[in-house]
Amino acid sequence: MKNNRLYINGISSISAQQENAVFDGNINTYHQNIIPAVSPDYKQFIQPMALRRMSKAIRMGLTSAKIALKQAGITKPDAIITGTGEGCKQDTEKFLEAILNQNEKLLTPTAFIQSTHNTIGGQLAQYLECTGYNVTYTQNSASFESVLMDAQLLFLEDQEMNSILVGGVDELSKKMTSFMYLDHQLKEQEISNSNLLKTNSSGTITSEGAHFFSISAEKSEKTYAELIDVSVFQAKTSEDVSEKILKMLQLSNYTIEDIDLVILGNNGDNRFDHFYHHLQNGLFSEKPQLAYKHLTGDYKTVSGYAVWLACKIFKTGSIPEIFKLNGVTCQNPKTILLYNQYLGDNHSIMILNSN
Amino acid sequence: MSDLRTELKQSIIEQLNLEELELADIDNDEPLFGDGLGLDSIDALELIVMLEKDYGIKLTDPEQGKEIFASIDKMAEYIEANRTK
């Protein structure tokens, strides 16, 4: 019998909020719709001569991965699986601008080399000297979830596989991110992030970040959570989502009563938040409900933050007020369900358990 | 002559993203590759493009690079002798 258990033993978050500070009540507030991530001191993790060429996605990815692995006590994982919705946009933009400005002549190599989506996975392999399985998933707003699904399959297929580094990274870039205003992904008016979920308008706010996790087939004293299951699907209506959640719970041998808390991806976009509101007022009306995108902005791999948050709640037993959507309380939740969608597409459900 | 050396140091710091370095940190006779400044093969490509873009010098023989990019002094001497702009 092959192992199908998947334990999260190391976690790391780089986002618009300082890692761990939200649990101390220190919240960063912004009055802008495009919010850069808070950079840790990258020099503590990456040699300066290597750092000089890295765009923010690579810096964030490497740093976050190193923190997660260190927590889990892993120096070299057996496999690396990376998710990125939009890849290394900063270097792509730099390279495209050079093509235009220099009339397609005298182009330098660095930005081009680092402009591909799998640059982060490649750099991780190089830094960790990991020559094992290395795949990057680009599946829009389900990129991070696709990574977890592949990790599940990898553990099922390979008996020898014990440690996998998984993560999601996305970065901002000057021009390409600003294009999100053009197709109304971002709100027209600049807003304060703390008011995001109170707005009644189309669009959201965006940001960048990296969330890496060291996962293992074996539970240890370092374990934060077990990933029970992950699913990505398309849904036309809110009712479809409820149906899908119930079906997934059934397949995992869980019932709605087993869910202690839900983390939802509300992003203040009044065209699509009904998917969340339907669950808040229906299936999960009696469950503690949390949201996080008013702190992190929305981007293609932001659901990594939700997994990080669930792990932190399991470990600390505390739930900061800033995340709460309702007044239902819960002491030491054991099972957390995460639901996310973006622009009505790529609906995803993840179930995590602390046992 | 010293202006060209200063200009080269500025270009190298800017184009190779050596943000941590000041002009004074690069000696004119210090090796740019290996034990000196520690530049690598990707930097060499950047320097070749810089020579052509800024000074109109097109290197046809990659082997020349080893000698030309040995130090700031060597680069400046080569540029002064061969520049077309």
* Contact criterion met (CB below 8 Å) for A9 and A216: yes
Q: Element (H or E) spanning A346, and its range?
A: strand A345-353
- In this complex, the residue of A53, A106, A107 whose CB is nearest that of residue B17 is A53
Which site among A41, A110, A112 would you substitute to test the B interface, given the most B Cβ atoms closer than 10 Å to its Cβ?
Answer: A110
B46 — contact with chain A (CB < 8 Å)?
Answer: yes
* Contact criterion met (CB below 8 Å) for A333 and A288: yes
B77 — contact with chain A (CB < 8 Å)?
Answer: no
At A107 the pLDDT is 86
At B7 the pLDDT is 96
Is B42's CB within 8 Å of A113's CB?
A: yes
Looking at the complex, report in whole angstroms how far the Cα of residue A114 sits from the nearest Cα belonging to chain B.
Answer: 12
First to last CA, chain B: 16
- In this complex, the residue of B18, B45, B53 whose CB is nearest that of residue A52 is B18
At A353 the pLDDT is 98
Q: Residue-wise pLDDT tens for chain A (355 aa)?
A: 445 789 999 999 999 999 989 999 999 999 999 999 999 999 999 988 889 889 999 999 999 999 999 999 999 999 999 999 999 999 999 999 999 998 998 888 888 989 999 999 999 999 999 999 999 999 999 999 999 999 999 999 998 899 999 999 999 999 999 999 999 999 999 999 999 999 999 999 999 999 999 999 999 999 999 999 999 999 999 999 999 999 999 999 999 999 999 999 999 999 999 999 999 999 999 999 999 999 999 999 999 999 999 999 999 999 999 999 999 999 999 999 999 999 999 999 999 999 7
Single pTM value for the model: 0.93
* Contact criterion met (CB below 8 Å) for A186 and A15: no
At A109 the pLDDT is 85
Is A106's CB within 8 Å of B18's CB?
A: no
User: pLDDT for A155-191, tens place per residue?
Assistant: 999 988 999 999 999 999 999 999 999 999 999 999 9
- CATH code, domain with B49: 1.10.1200.10
**What would the two tokens of residue A138 be?**
């680009």
Domain residue spans in chain A? 7-216, 227-353
Looking at the complex, report in whole angstroms how far the Cα of residue A83 sits from the nearest Cα belonging to chain B.
Answer: 27
d(CA A151, CA A81): 7
Is B15's CB within 8 Å of A113's CB?
A: no
d(CA A113, CA A107): 12
Contacts of A247 by beta carbon, 8 Å cutoff, 6+ apart? none
- Cα A217 to Cα A154, A160, A298, A319: the distances in Å are 10, 10, 31, 28
A7-216 matches A227-353 in fold: yes
First to last CA, chain A: 21
CA-based nearest residue in chain B for residue A53: B17
Q: What total number of domains does chain B contain?
A: 1
Which site among A43, A53, A58, A123 would you substitute to test the B interface, given the most B Cβ atoms closer than 10 Å to its Cβ?
Answer: A53
Q: Element (H or E) spanning B12, and its range?
A: helix B2-15
Strand partners, A337: A262, A351
Under-50 pLDDT residues of chain B: 1
Q: What 8-state DSSP symbol labels residue A275?
A: H
ipTM of the complex: 0.77
Q: Which of A109, A95, A88 is nearest to A173 (CA)?
A: A88
User: pLDDT for A58-89, tens place per residue?
Assistant: 999 999 999 999 999 999 999 999 999 999 99
**Lookup result for tokens 């007020």:** A321
At A3 the pLDDT is 58
Contact list in A for residue B19 (CB cut-off 8 A) is: 52
Which site among B42, B48, B55 would you substitute to test the A interface, given the most A Cβ atoms closer than 10 Å to its Cβ?
Answer: B42
Q: Which of A20, A16, A19 is nearest to A30 (CA)?
A: A16
Pairing state of beta strands A335-342 and A345-353? antiparallel
At B9 the pLDDT is 95
Q: What is the CATH number of domain A227-353?
A: 3.40.47.10
Q: Element (H or E) spanning A178, and its range?
A: helix A174-178
At A178 the pLDDT is 97
- In the CATH hierarchy, which fold is given to the domain comprising A7-216? Peroxisomal Thiolase; Chain A, domain 1 (3.40.47)
d(CA A207, CA A352): 25
Q: Which of A216, A214, A262 is nearest to A241 (CA)?
A: A262
Strand partners, A10: A214
d(CA A2, CA A242): 31
Q: What 8-state DSSP symbol labels residue A326?
A: S
- In this complex, the residue of A53, A102, A109 whose CB is nearest that of residue B45 is A109
- Host domain of residue B16: 2-82
Radius of gyration of chain A (CA): 20
Looking at the complex, report in whole angstroms how far the Cα of residue B15 sits from the nearest Cα belonging to chain A.
Answer: 10
Interface residues on A facing B, Cβ-Cβ cutoff 8 A? 48-49, 52-53, 102, 106-110, 113
B45 — contact with chain A (CB < 8 Å)?
Answer: yes
